Structure 1
């Protein structure tokens, strides 16, 4: 069609053009929807509350750092108390789910460092310690949403990445290097990094959702997909395990959680 200045568009051509545009728009909407939260489409049926809003009943952890106030679960390193020497977790006693959808709201201070561990196991060398997958949360919004494997393979997917953790083949050296697992491949970028970062609210409540389905692990914040891992590493991956929330060693900080619910599928 180049070099044509005037085009007479027939009714048939126009109809075809409109139809093509409509199809393209639908495809784009489907692609965008794939990066949005799935929990909104899920029925409330079969979701159970993980917090009673009054006590730490159903959870195990160090009450020096964990408490409930006004219906909110609080993890805090207080400035007037002994500093935290090692990462500590409040561990849910409701089972070791495999496939599930978990939703919650969180709010974290500027210097806060926390996260939600899942499909994890106890790190028995320390009290109230876990190792396993973690949906990272931090007050500076540098890491929130990424998949970081605590005390194991370290970073599996940074925010904005769909990544595959590959099977370790004979002759391949897989290790944590530069705080990331070397035997991982970035399959796709989810969205512009600045867009994803701006989705996260500072000093305000954010929605977080974790979807664990087989070997696919997806983290959403405020309805937007932040990271996704396809874990094909049969030697190191976990198919089920404990859930816990973290207070990370560091300066005085505060993290709050509420409306924590889970729908266990397997």
Structure 2
């Protein structure tokens, strides 16, 4: 039996409206995605994770204010001109044994994440660094102001295979006693034992030289204990 044209209009309109709503919702998810940056899940809270960066301001950190700011939930380090020395954004708190997580997006030049480091004059530090650079250093364990420079090569065959130049990269830094492990984008690049520094601050680097830009987000730490000195 043939349907009257009026009987066809209802289902057609329903399909058109449904398709339109689906398209609008899909577009909304693209334009306004859910943002879980700089937050802790309920599981992370139970496990003892703590945010080092709240996504709004630099509470808990100090550095040369001309070079550091918060924009759209990220810490932005920008020199704007040639630097004659390295400068750092430094935590006011020290840490000994922990797991530290941080996302880094390096636009150019050289940066890194200091840990178990000693704060020095003029916003400088001395200690371990998870390296991040345009060159062959992503994944390396570097010694800032220690005289050791590359403590462990984590680039060759490891960091070089997983780094995403110009995009967000994820570092996980594990320290327990003498044990130090760096994981870059899910790949372990360094797994070593060292006794140089048992505790210290966390710090973010702007490297000396030509103008550079770097961004950080999702900086969180899980303390594992308080091993402040080696036997």
**What is the TM-score of this pair, normalised by structure 2?**
0.74
**1:162-241 counterparts in 2 under 5 A?**
193-194=156-157, 196-231=159-194, 233=195, 237-241=196-200
1:253 correspondence with 2:201: no
**What is the TM-score of this pair, normalised by structure 1?**
0.65
| 2:10 match | none
Deviation of 1:123 after TM superposition, in Å, equals 2.3
| 2:142 match | 148
**Higher radius of gyration, 1 or 2:** 2
| 2:13 match | none
Unaligned runs of 5+ in 2: 1-42, 226-231
CA contact (8 A) 1:66 1:76 kept: yes
Describe the superposition over 1:96-119 as per-residue Cα deviations: whole angstroms up to 9, x where unpaired.
11110000111001x321111111
Helix, strand or coil at the partner of 1:265: strand
What CA distance in whole angstroms lies between the structure 2 residues aligned with 1:47 and 1:150?
27
Deviation of 1:238 after TM superposition, in Å, equals 1.1
Query: How many residues are matched?
Result: 180
CA contact (8 A) 1:156 1:229 kept: no
Deviation of 1:195 after TM superposition, in Å, equals 5.2
Describe the superposition over 1:66-103 as per-residue Cα deviations: whole angstroms up to 9, x where unpaired.
1110000011121xx4x21210010012x211110000
Deviation of 1:194 after TM superposition, in Å, equals 4.2
Unaligned runs of 5+ in 1: 1-42, 161-192
> Which residue, 37, 40, 60 being the options, matches 1:58?
60
1:262 correspondence with 2:225: no
> Which residue, 102, 105, 108 being the options, matches 2:106?
108
Describe the superposition over 1:209-245 as per-residue Cα deviations: whole angstroms up to 9, x where unpaired.
10011101111110101112211x5xxx111111111
Question: Which protein has the bigger helix share?
Answer: 2
CA contact (8 A) 1:147 1:229 kept: no
What CA distance in whole angstroms lies between the structure 1 residues aligned with 2:204 and 2:159?
23
